[in-house]
Structure 1
Amino acid sequence: MARQRDERIDRAVLAAVAALLREVGYPALTMEAIAQRAGTTKPAIRRRWKSQKHLVVAALAEERTGVVAIDTGCTCCDLVGHLEALRIGMADPAFGGVLPALTADLADDPELREDFLAVVWEPRREACVASLSKGEARGDIRPGLDVDLVLDLFAAPVVFRVLFGHRELGPSFVRGVVGGVLSGVGAIAGGLCEHAEPG
Structure 2
Amino acid sequence: MARQRDERIDQAVLAAVTTLLREVGYPGLTMEAIAQRAGTTKPAVRRRWKSQKHVVVAALAEERAGVVEVDTGCTCCDLFGHLEALRLGMADLADDPELRETFLAVVWEPRREACVESLKKGEARGEIRPGLDVVLIDLFAAPVVFRVLFGHRKLDQEFVRDVIGGVLSGVGTADGGRLCAHIGP
Length-normalised TM-score, structure 1: 0.61
Map of 2:83 onto structure 1: 83
Identify which of 141, 144, 155 aligns with 1:169.
155
Per-residue displacement from partner, 1:109-137 (whole Å, max 9, x unpaired)?
xxxx3x54331111211221121111111
1:81 shift after superposition = 2.4
In 2 relative to 1, CA 154–194 (structure 1 residues): closer, same or farther, beyond 3 Å? Answer: closer
Tell me, in whole angstroms, the C-alpha distance in 1 between the residues paired with 2:50 and 2:68. Answer: 27
- Structure 2 residue 98 is the aligned partner of structure 1 residue 105: yes
In 2 relative to 1, CA 10–172 (structure 1 residues): closer, same or farther, beyond 3 Å? Answer: same
Map of 1:151 onto structure 2: 137
Per-residue displacement from partner, 1:47-95 (whole Å, max 9, x unpaired)?
xxxx969x654244247564333222111221122222333x24xxxx6
Tell me, in whole angstroms, the C-alpha distance in 2 between the residues paired with 1:38 and 1:13. Answer: 12
Tell me, in whole angstroms, the C-alpha distance in 1 between the residues paired with 2:95 and 2:127. Answer: 38
Tell me, in whole angstroms, the C-alpha distance in 1 between the residues paired with 2:110 and 2:165. Answer: 23
Identity of aligned residues (%): 63
Paired positions, count: 162
Amino acid at match of 1:37: K
Amino acid at match of 2:94: P
Q: Is the 8 A contact 1:140 1:187 kept in 2?
A: yes
Most deviating of 132-141 and 189-198: 189-198
Identify which of 30, 34, 42 aligns with 1:37.
42
Task: Give runs of aligned pairs for residues 42-81 of structure 1, distance below 5 A.
Answer: 56=55, 57-62=57-62, 64=64, 66-81=66-81
Tell me, in whole angstroms, the C-alpha distance in 2 between the residues paired with 1:198 and 1:190. Answer: 16
Please list every run of 5 or more consecutive structure 2 residues that lacks an aligned counterpart in the other structure.
21-28, 32-39
Amino acid at match of 1:118: A
Please list every run of 5 or more consecutive structure 1 residues that lacks an aligned counterpart in the other structure.
25-34, 46-50, 108-112
Amino acid at match of 1:101: D
Most deviating of 133-142 and 8-17: 8-17
Q: Alignment RMSD, CA only?
A: 3.9
Tell me, in whole angstroms, the C-alpha distance in 1 between the residues paired with 2:45 and 2:171. Answer: 51
Q: Is the 8 A contact 2:122 2:128 kept in 1?
A: yes
